[in-house]
Amino acid sequence: MYPNWEKKCKLRVVITDSYGRTLYTSSSPKNRFRYTNALPSRYFRIRAYLEQNGRLIDTNGTFCKVRPAEHLLKWDDYKLVSIIYWRGLDTPYRMRRVAEIYRQFGLDVLMNCRGFDFPVLNNFHTTGFVSNLIGSQNYPSKEYLKTGNKMLLARKNCLSDPEKLKKSREKMLKSAKNSYRHGVLFHSIGDELALSRSGSPVEFCFSDTCLAGFRNFLKKRYGTLEKLNKVWQSGFSSWEKVLPYTKEEVWKAKERHVASWADHREFMDSLVEKYLIDYKKDLRSADPTARMENSGTQAPNAYGGLDWFKLMNSLDCLQNYHGQEQMELQRSFGKSDYLSIPWGGYRNTGSASVYPLWKAAMLGSKGHSMWCLHSGLLFPDLRFQDAAKDAMPSLHRLRGGVGKLLMDHFRPVRQQVAILHSQNSLRAAFIEKRMNEYRDLWCKYVLLCRHSGAEFRFVDVTELPGLYNKGFRLLILPDTKALSDKEAEAIKKFAADGGTVLAEGMAGTRYENCVKRKTPVLKKFLYAGGKKVIFRDESDSDYNLLIAAPDSKLNGRQVRSEQRQFAAALRKSGIPVRMVKLTDKSGAEVVEAEIYLKRSKEGIPMAGFLTMNNTEKQVTVNFPGTGHGFDLVSGRYLGHGKQYKAVFSKGNPLLVVQTRARPGFSGVKVNKNRLEFKVSGVAGTTVAIRIFDPSGKEIPAYGKRISVYNGQGSYDIPFAVSDAKGNWRAELCEVISNSLKNIIVKR
C-alpha cells in the first residue's frame, strides 16, 4: 500500500499496560523484545503509528493478555477481596466508575462470576472458579422422601462414579488452564461445600460405586463377614448384600446397629478427603502454582463430609464463615502456608462489622472478604452499603500495614493447651441427639482459653501419641465420648509424662465406632487419676450464654467462678494466666475480654483484646514490663510505662504493642528510583509507602507495604516511560508508631 515506506516514513510502536502507563516506545522497533512489568498488569495494548515528517499516515494495534510474573502473584500482604455479579444492560457503562469506587475502598482482589474482563481491565487481582462434584445444594430425591427407600439415597454427582469423575475432571482442567493464563491468586472449588446442604443429616451416598467402595473399606477393617456381622449386630449372608443402616434405623433399633452407621459416616468423610486430594493433584497439573480454595466454610458436622482435620489436608485457602469457632479448628489444622480470608459484611453494621475483622486478624487471617446483601459492596446507585462503610476504617488500618505486620513479624506465644478434636465423638453426640451441645462445649473451652490469655490449638486424636513432648501441658477432653483403646492409652501416657488432663463429661463411654462400652475406658483413670487429672462429671456450656451479658451481677459471679476453676487448671499445668491483664476503673479484671498474645522474633510483646460486649469501658492494659505502648487499631501512642489507658468495647478492640524504644526513622535516602531507609527502636516492623506525582496526586499502584528486617529496608519505585518528570514525593510511615517521613524523588 505504501511503496518504499521504510525510506519515506517512520514506524513508531507504543506499548501501554492496563494502568495506562507507557512502558515501551521506539521509532526503530525490533521484531522481538523482552520487557518485565513491575506491576501485575494482565492486559497490554500495542499500537503502531506510521508517520511521515511528523504527520500520522496510518495506525494499527492489538491487545494481549499476559500472566504476571510469579513474584507479583505471591500473597505477601493483607488483601481485601470481594465479588461482583451484576447483570443488566447498563452494567458495562458503570464498570469504570465501579472500579474507581472499589479502588477507593482499597479492594485488591475481585472475584467475578461473569469472567475475567472486568478485574483484568481494571487492575484487580482475580480468582478462578472450577467445578467439582461435592457442591452445596444437595438434597434427597422426592422419591426417597415419599417411599423412604434408602437405595434412592444416591447423590446426583456421586464422588466415586468413574464417568462423572472423568467429565468433571475434563471440565475442571479446561477452566483451570484458562484461569492460569490470567494469573489467578486461587481457584475456588465452590461455596458452602458439603455432601448435603450445610451438613444436613442425609445418608448419602447409596450409589452402586459408593456401596462397592464402602464394602472394600469394610473388608479391610473387619477381614471377614462374620466379624462384621458380630460388630454390626447384623445378619448379612454375603458382602454384596451389606448395606449401611440409616440414623432412623439405628434409633428405631435402640442403637443396635450404630457401628454400621458410624462406619458409613467415616467412609464418606474419607471419600471426600480422597476426592479433594486427587482433585488438587489434577488442578496442579493445569496450574503448578494453584491454591485450592473453599468459600463459605461449614461448621463441623457428623454429616456432609465436614471433618476439618481431613479437609485441611488438601485445602490451601478458605473464605471462612465464623460459626461454632470453626476458624480455630481450621487454623489449628492448616498447613504453614494456609491462607485465611474470612467473609464479613452482610447485614452487620457498627460494632458487628468491626469485631469479626479484628478477631480474624488476631487468628492469623491474611486478608478479608467483603460481601453485602443484594449487590456486593454497593447499592445500585453506587453508594457503599452500611456494612462496607462501617468496616472501612478497620479495613484501611489492616490493609495500610497492620495486617502485613501481623503476617510477617508476630506469632502466637507458646501453645501449651490442646483441645481434643474427635470426629467419632461428634458422631456419638449426633446419635445421642445432642450434637449442638457437644459443639457448644468445645466453644466454651475456646472462650475460656481466650479469656484466660492461654494460647491453644485443637489436636486430632491421631496427634495424641507424644503430645507432651510437643510442648503441650494441658489436654482438654470436651465430652469426648468415643475413644479407641489406643487413644485412651495415649491420653493416660500424656498424664504419665507430666501433662494434666481436664475432662468434662465422662470420656470413653463408647468405642471409636460409637458402640457403647460396658464400662467407660477412662472411668478408673478419671476417678483415680490423682494430681494430673481434673474431672467434671456433668457437661455444662452455659458459660457461652453468661459471657454474653457479663455486667449482670449473677452472670458475672458465675463467669468469674468458671474462670477461676479454669485458671487453677492452667496453673496446675504450669501455664501462666493472663500475662497481660485488662482491668476496669475499679481495678477488677474485665472478665469478658478475649486475650490474644503474640510475640515478635526479637521478643516484642503484643496483646490483642476483643469483647462481644457493646458497653464502652474505661480500661487499663497492664503489661508485666515497662515500655512504649501503641494501639494498632486506633493508631494511638498510649505512653510509656507498664499501664496504658484506653476505651474498650465490641466496636473498640485493642491491639497493643509494647516496644523498649520508640520506633522511628533514623535515615532515608534516594538512590535513583530506589528508597533506602533505616528504622530505629525495633529491628522488625512494616513501613507503608505512598507515592505522589509532581502535581501532588497520589498514585496508589505505586504504593507498597515493606517488611523491615534488622532495621533496614528498600523499595524500587516502578516508574514507567510515561511518568511525568519533576519532583515526586514519597511518604514513609512506620506502622507501629505511625512515624512519618517524606522525601523528594527527582525524575
From residue 579, alpha-carbon distances to 13, 14, 210, 278, 596 in Å are 65, 61, 52, 45, 11
d(CA 268, CA 247): 15
Burial class of residue 28, CB neighbours in 10 A (0-12, 13-18, 19+):
exposed
pLDDT in tens, 600-637: 999 999 999 999 999 999 999 999 999 999 999 999 99
- 595-602: average pLDDT: 96
Asked if 704 and 687 count as a contact pair (C-beta separation under 8 A), the reply is no
- 8-13: average pLDDT: 83
Q: In terms of DSSP bridges, do strands 674-680 and 712-716 run parallel, antiparallel, or are they unpaired?
A: antiparallel
What is the reported pLDDT for 574?
96
d(CA 606, CA 298): 31
Asked if 22 and 14 count as a contact pair (C-beta separation under 8 A), the reply is yes
Does the pLDDT value for residue 89 go beyond 60? no
Phi, psi angles (nearest 5°) of residue 196? -130, 155
Under DSSP, is residue 416 helix (H, G, I), strand (E, B) or coil? coil
Give the CA radius of gyration of the chain. 30
Answer left, alpha or beta for residue 75, where phi above 0 means left and psi between -120 and 50 means alpha.
beta
CB atoms < 10 A from the CB of 532, how many?
17
The pLDDT confidence band at residue 452, using thresholds 50, 70 and 90, is very high
Under DSSP, is residue 90 helix (H, G, I), strand (E, B) or coil? coil
pLDDT in tens, 511-560: 999 999 999 999 999 998 788 999 999 999 999 999 989 998 889 999 99
Report angle CA 730, 735, 737 to the nearest 5 degrees: 110
Cell output for 111: 472475584
pLDDT in tens, 349-389: 999 999 999 999 999 999 999 988 766 788 888 889 999 99
* pTM for the predicted model, two decimal places: 0.94
Amino acid, single-letter form, for residue 500: T
Does the pLDDT value for residue 87 go beyond 70? no
| Nearest CA among 179, 193, 127, 68 for reference residue 339 | 127
CB atoms < 10 A from the CB of 377, how many?
26
d(CA 390, CA 37): 36
pLDDT in tens, 629-662: 999 999 999 999 999 999 999 999 999 999 999 9
- 579-598: average pLDDT: 97
What is the reported pLDDT for 480?
97
b/e code 567-602 from CB counts within 10 Å (16+ = b):
bebbeebebbbbebbbbeeeeebbbbbbbbbbbbee
Report angle CA 614, 342, 631 to the nearest 5 degrees: 50
The set of residues, in sequence order, having a beta carbon less than 8 Å from that of 39 and lying 6+ positions away, is 17, 19, 21, 72, 123, 701, 718
Under DSSP, is residue 744 helix (H, G, I), strand (E, B) or coil? strand
- 682-689: average pLDDT: 98
Under DSSP, is residue 489 helix (H, G, I), strand (E, B) or coil? helix
What is the reported pLDDT for 256?
95
Does the pLDDT value for residue 296 go beyond 80? yes
Asked if 159 and 133 count as a contact pair (C-beta separation under 8 A), the reply is yes
Cell output for 698: 497520589
Share the mean pLDDT of the chain. Answer: 93
Under DSSP, is residue 509 helix (H, G, I), strand (E, B) or coil? coil
